[in-house]
């Protein structure tokens, strides 16, 4: 039987991310990114009303209003859904950099962690993440380093949008809802699924966060 050698480069990258996830666990989080405000500014530039924008994305105007007013924190899946509807990228809502043929994110740049900020610090956002692909022009994949915060109760809402998603758990435990099934993922486990399947992922612990490497294919 043919033997397959280990991909040293991939293993080194994953090991480094696991190490950083542990080292950064006790560090303070950087200033919140007002994603809802960015979405609102983008909508106003399009000249669309709340109702028109919401219909194009496929969400309710009430949810869009809450998002713009930073009363709710949109998931990455929701941001992908908005980006796909208008032919833009998720990074345009969480902050990015000038786009070029390729993008390099240096190790020292990982210290800046983006979080979906809620108005006046109210509520608790379940997502802390940074884009690892910002700056790559015309990209169809969105790689993220994601931290899932512990939640007292798992959410009931499910996300549905075009594309595919791959998740690799670096630390902690993650619960993934896919249709009518639930999968418990531990460090070293990974999952790959179609984003058209109603889904949601969150930290399986009510006390500890989970660190995850996520790659989304936007389905464009």
Q: Give CA–CA dist 155/140, Å, rounded.
A: 28
Q: Could you give all domains of the chain from N- to C-terminal order, each with its CATH number?
A: 29-217 (2.60.120.10)
Supply the mean pLDDT for the chain: 79
The secondary structure element, H or E, covering residue 145 is strand 141-148
Q: Give CA–CA dist 162/43, Å, rounded.
A: 21
Q: Predicted confidence band at 144 (pLDDT cuts at 50, 70, 90)?
A: confident
Angle 208-210-215 (CA atoms, 0-180°, nearest 5)?
165
* DSSP secondary structure, 64-122, as one string: HHHHHTTSS---HHHHHHHHHHTT--THHHH-----BSS----GGGGG--EEBPPGGG-
pLDDT at position 95 is 61
CA-nearest of 30, 24, 15, 31 to 209 is 24
Note the pLDDT tens digit of each residue in 38-97.
899 999 999 999 999 999 998 899 999 988 888 877 777 788 888 888 888 777 777 656
51 three-class SS: helix
Note the pLDDT tens digit of each residue in 36-45.
888 999 999 9
Pick the most confident of 86-90, 135-139, 207-211. Answer: 207-211
Q: Mean of the pLDDT values across residues 176-189?
A: 95
Dihedral sign of CA atoms 28, 31, 151, 215 in order:
negative
The residues that bridge with 199 in the sheet, in sequence order, are 159, 178
Q: Give CA–CA dist 70/23, Å, rounded.
A: 30
């Amino acid at each position: 039987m043919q033997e397959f050698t280990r991909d040293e480069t991939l293993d080194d990258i994953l090991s480094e991310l696991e190490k950083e996830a542990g080292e950064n666990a006790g560090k303070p989080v950087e200033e919140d990114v007002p994603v809802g405000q960015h979405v609102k500014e983008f909508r106003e530039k399009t000249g669309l009303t709340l109702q028109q924008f919401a219909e194009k994305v496929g969400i309710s105007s009430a949810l869009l209003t809450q998002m713009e007013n930073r009363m709710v924190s949109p998931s990455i899946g929701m941001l992908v859904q908005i980006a796909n509807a208008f032919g833009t990228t998720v990074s345009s809502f969480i902050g990015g950099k000038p786009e070029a043929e390729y993008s390099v994110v240096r190790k020292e740049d990982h210290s800046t962690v983006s979080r979906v900020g809620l108005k006046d610090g109210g509520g608790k956002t379940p997502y802390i993440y940074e884009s690892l692909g910002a700056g790559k022009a015309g990209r169809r994949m969105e790689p993220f380093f994601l931290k899932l915060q512990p939640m007292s109760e798992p959410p009931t809402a499910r996300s549905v949008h075009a594309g595919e998603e791959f998740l690799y758990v670096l630390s902690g435990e993650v619960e993934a809802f896919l249709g009518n099934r639930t999968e418990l993922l531990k460090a070293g486990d990974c999952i790959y699924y179609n984003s058209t399947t109603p889904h949601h992922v969150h930290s399986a612990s009510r006390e500890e966060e989970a660190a995850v490497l996520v790659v989304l294919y936007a389905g464009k």
